[in-house]
């Protein structure tokens, strides 16, 4: 049976920490920033932990089961 391939879109977007948590960037900070308040853009910066409902699917896509 052949090996499973890592999903290349997911590996670019998700980082696995040393303790095994999945980190992602928040959406909404790429464009149309002039109309968003400074408060909003600061809130969107930094990383966030992936929702528990999605972790199993994303781990399969990354190849770490």
Could you report the per-residue pLDDT of 25-65, keeping only the tens digit for each? 999 999 999 999 999 999 999 999 999 999 999 999 998 75
In a domain, 18, yes or no: yes
Residue 30 lies in a domain: no
Indicate the number of domains in the chain: 1
Q: Within a domain: residue 33?
A: no
Residue 21's CATH number:
4.10.410.60
d(CA 50, CA 34): 27
List beta partners, residue 47: 25
pTM of the model: 0.84
Is residue 56 in some structural domain?
A: yes
Q: For residue 6, tell me if it sits in a domain.
A: yes
Q: What does the block give as tokens for 24?
A: 């992602």
Task: Tell me how far apart the alpha carbons of residues 61 and 5 are, in angstroms, rounded to a whole number.
Answer: 8
Across residues 6-11, what is the average pLDDT? 96
1 — pLDDT class (breaks 50, 70, 90): confident
Q: Which domain holds residue 60?
A: 1-25+38-65
Examine residue 48 and state whether it is found in any structural domain, yes or no. Answer: yes
Q: What is the structure's pLDDT at 42?
A: 96
């Amino acid at each position: 049976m052949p090996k499973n391939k890592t999903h290349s879109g997911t590996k670019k977007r998700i980082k696995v920490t040393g303790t095994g948590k999945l980190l992602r960037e928040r959406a909404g900070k790429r464009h149309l920033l002039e109309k968003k308040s400074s408060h909003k853009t600061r809130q969107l910066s930094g990383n966030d932990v992936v929702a528990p409902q999605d972790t199993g699917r994303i781990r399969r896509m990354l190849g770490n089961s």
